[in-house]
Structure 1
Amino acid sequence: MWSEVRPFAPAARSEPQISEYPETEGSVDYRRRVVITGLGVVAPNGIGKDAFWQALVAGKSAARSRISVRNRL
Protein backbone atom coordinates (compact mmCIF):
# COMPACT_ATOMS: atom_id res chain seq x y z
CA MET A 1 0.00 0.00 0.00
CA TRP A 2 2.62 2.60 1.04
CA SER A 3 4.89 1.61 -1.81
CA GLU A 4 2.34 3.21 -4.16
CA VAL A 5 2.40 6.58 -2.39
CA ARG A 6 4.20 9.25 -4.41
CA PRO A 7 4.93 12.88 -3.59
CA PHE A 8 2.51 15.36 -5.13
CA ALA A 9 3.77 17.05 -8.28
CA PRO A 10 1.55 19.51 -10.17
CA ALA A 11 1.04 18.83 -13.85
CA ALA A 12 3.15 20.90 -16.23
CA ARG A 13 1.20 23.63 -18.05
CA SER A 14 2.08 25.27 -21.29
CA GLU A 15 -0.29 28.26 -21.16
CA PRO A 16 0.18 31.16 -18.73
CA GLN A 17 -2.00 31.15 -15.62
CA ILE A 18 -4.32 34.00 -14.65
CA SER A 19 -4.33 34.72 -10.94
CA GLU A 20 -7.61 34.82 -9.02
CA TYR A 21 -6.09 37.71 -7.09
CA PRO A 22 -4.70 40.23 -9.56
CA GLU A 23 -2.10 42.46 -7.97
CA THR A 24 -2.30 46.06 -9.07
CA GLU A 25 -0.74 49.12 -7.54
CA GLY A 26 -2.65 50.11 -4.42
CA SER A 27 -4.72 46.92 -4.32
CA VAL A 28 -5.40 45.00 -1.13
CA ASP A 29 -3.66 41.65 -0.83
CA TYR A 30 -6.55 39.25 -0.19
CA ARG A 31 -4.17 36.35 0.42
CA ARG A 32 -3.28 37.65 3.88
CA ARG A 33 -3.28 35.08 6.64
CA VAL A 34 -5.69 35.21 9.54
CA VAL A 35 -4.89 34.07 13.06
CA ILE A 36 -7.63 33.16 15.53
CA THR A 37 -6.40 34.15 18.98
CA GLY A 38 -9.36 33.43 21.20
CA LEU A 39 -12.85 32.10 21.66
CA GLY A 40 -15.93 33.92 22.81
CA VAL A 41 -19.51 32.82 23.35
CA VAL A 42 -22.66 34.87 23.69
CA ALA A 43 -25.55 32.46 24.26
CA PRO A 44 -28.82 32.48 26.20
CA ASN A 45 -27.40 30.00 28.72
CA GLY A 46 -24.08 31.74 29.28
CA ILE A 47 -22.05 34.74 28.24
CA GLY A 48 -18.39 33.87 27.94
CA LYS A 49 -16.86 30.49 27.28
CA ASP A 50 -16.58 29.54 30.96
CA ALA A 51 -20.21 30.34 31.81
CA PHE A 52 -21.42 28.64 28.64
CA TRP A 53 -19.35 25.52 29.33
CA GLN A 54 -20.57 25.31 32.94
CA ALA A 55 -24.18 25.54 31.74
CA LEU A 56 -23.54 22.70 29.29
CA VAL A 57 -21.86 20.56 31.96
CA ALA A 58 -24.75 21.22 34.36
CA GLY A 59 -27.25 20.23 31.66
CA LYS A 60 -28.87 23.67 31.58
CA SER A 61 -30.51 24.25 28.24
CA ALA A 62 -31.58 27.60 26.88
CA ALA A 63 -34.00 25.99 24.43
CA ARG A 64 -37.61 26.95 24.99
CA SER A 65 -40.88 26.11 23.32
CA ARG A 66 -41.92 28.41 20.55
CA ILE A 67 -45.23 30.06 21.31
CA SER A 68 -47.24 31.34 18.41
CA VAL A 69 -48.50 34.90 18.63
CA ARG A 70 -51.77 33.73 17.08
CA ASN A 71 -52.47 31.52 20.11
CA ARG A 72 -52.16 34.49 22.45
CA LEU A 73 -54.81 36.66 20.76
Structure 2
Amino acid sequence: MEIVTPARRHQAVTPSDDAVLEDVVSVFVGFGGAVAIEAGGGVAVYHCQSGTLLPVAAHKVLATGTTASEIVALVK
Protein backbone atom coordinates (compact mmCIF):
# COMPACT_ATOMS: atom_id res chain seq x y z
CA MET A 1 0.00 0.00 0.00
CA GLU A 2 1.35 3.40 -0.97
CA ILE A 3 1.55 6.06 1.72
CA VAL A 4 0.04 9.33 0.55
CA THR A 5 1.70 12.48 1.80
CA PRO A 6 -0.14 15.79 1.76
CA ALA A 7 0.79 18.56 -0.63
CA ARG A 8 3.26 21.08 0.73
CA ARG A 9 2.40 23.93 -1.64
CA HIS A 10 -0.25 25.03 -4.08
CA GLN A 11 -0.11 27.10 -7.24
CA ALA A 12 -2.67 28.60 -9.56
CA VAL A 13 -2.73 26.94 -12.98
CA THR A 14 -3.29 28.73 -16.25
CA PRO A 15 -4.07 26.02 -18.80
CA SER A 16 -1.35 25.88 -21.45
CA ASP A 17 -0.41 23.41 -24.15
CA ASP A 18 3.27 24.21 -23.47
CA ALA A 19 3.77 24.92 -19.74
CA VAL A 20 5.06 21.95 -17.75
CA LEU A 21 4.01 21.45 -14.12
CA GLU A 22 6.49 20.08 -11.57
CA ASP A 23 5.81 17.71 -8.64
CA VAL A 24 2.01 17.89 -8.85
CA VAL A 25 0.17 15.35 -6.67
CA SER A 26 -3.40 16.44 -7.48
CA VAL A 27 -5.43 19.14 -9.21
CA PHE A 28 -8.32 21.10 -7.69
CA VAL A 29 -11.03 22.45 -10.01
CA GLY A 30 -12.72 25.51 -8.54
CA PHE A 31 -15.24 26.18 -11.31
CA GLY A 32 -16.45 23.10 -13.17
CA GLY A 33 -16.06 22.10 -16.79
CA ALA A 34 -13.71 19.96 -18.83
CA VAL A 35 -10.07 19.62 -17.74
CA ALA A 36 -7.59 18.20 -20.27
CA ILE A 37 -4.63 16.71 -18.43
CA GLU A 38 -1.42 15.25 -19.78
CA ALA A 39 0.14 12.69 -17.45
CA GLY A 40 2.28 9.63 -18.06
CA GLY A 41 2.58 10.40 -21.76
CA GLY A 42 -1.16 10.38 -22.41
CA VAL A 43 -3.98 12.90 -22.38
CA ALA A 44 -7.34 12.47 -20.63
CA VAL A 45 -10.25 14.88 -20.41
CA TYR A 46 -12.08 14.94 -17.08
CA HIS A 47 -15.55 16.48 -16.86
CA CYS A 48 -15.64 17.99 -13.37
CA GLN A 49 -18.10 19.73 -11.13
CA SER A 50 -17.01 22.77 -9.16
CA GLY A 51 -14.94 21.76 -6.16
CA THR A 52 -13.55 18.55 -7.67
CA LEU A 53 -10.16 17.22 -6.52
CA LEU A 54 -8.47 15.09 -9.19
CA PRO A 55 -5.84 12.77 -7.65
CA VAL A 56 -3.59 12.83 -10.71
CA ALA A 57 0.09 13.74 -11.05
CA ALA A 58 -0.48 16.13 -13.96
CA HIS A 59 2.44 17.00 -16.23
CA LYS A 60 0.34 19.64 -18.02
CA VAL A 61 -3.15 21.12 -17.82
CA LEU A 62 -3.80 21.74 -21.48
CA ALA A 63 -5.53 24.84 -22.84
CA THR A 64 -6.89 22.75 -25.71
CA GLY A 65 -9.95 20.96 -24.33
CA THR A 66 -10.08 22.73 -20.95
CA THR A 67 -13.18 24.79 -20.16
CA ALA A 68 -12.97 24.68 -16.35
CA SER A 69 -11.38 27.55 -14.43
CA GLU A 70 -9.98 28.44 -11.01
CA ILE A 71 -7.63 25.44 -11.29
CA VAL A 72 -5.05 24.90 -8.56
CA ALA A 73 -2.19 22.38 -8.55
CA LEU A 74 -1.34 20.78 -5.21
CA VAL A 75 2.42 20.22 -5.17
CA LYS A 76 4.83 18.00 -3.20
Tell me: higher relative CO, structure 1 or 2? Use CA pairs within 8 A at least 6 residues apart.
Answer: 2
Report the TM range for the smaller structure's normalisation.
under 0.3
Structure of greater Rg = 1
Richer in strand (by share)? 2
TM-score by length of structure 2 reads: 0.19
Considering fraction of residues, name the structure with more helix. Answer: 1
Q: TM-score by structure 1 length?
A: 0.19
